[in-house]
Amino acid sequence: MSKLKDGENQALRNIQNPPKADLFVINVAFSQIQDPAARQYLNQLPTSFSLTDQQVDDLRAAASAILLNSSEFQRLTKELNATVIEGPK
């Protein structure tokens, strides 16, 4: 990066010349769950801090499945040359 001239604002330079960034938009939604009964169950869970351990496990498993099946997530991992390591089931 070139040296700032007297009175030049670095923040303004950053806005005028932003760094190149690749965006990966990964949608994680219950609508992506194929099984209608599972989708309905997840959609009916309360949005609260008082979920049972089983409900938390079910939500985490659904989110993991949706994410791992996302073509955009797969593109991101390929771009980063990353390996996804699944945790215990």
Residues 40-61: pLDDT tens digits? 999 999 988 899 999 999 999 9
65 inside domain: yes
36 inside domain: no
pLDDT band, residue 18 (cuts 50/70/90): confident
Find all residues with CB under 8 Å of 55, minimum gap 6, and list them.
45
Mean pLDDT of the 22-32 span: 93
Count of domains observed in the chain: 1
69 inside domain: yes
6 inside domain: no
42 inside domain: no
Percent of the chain topping pLDDT 70: 90
Length reported for the chain: 89
On the question of pLDDT at 22 being above 90, the answer is no
57 inside domain: yes
DSSP state of 31: G
Range of the domain at 85: 53-89
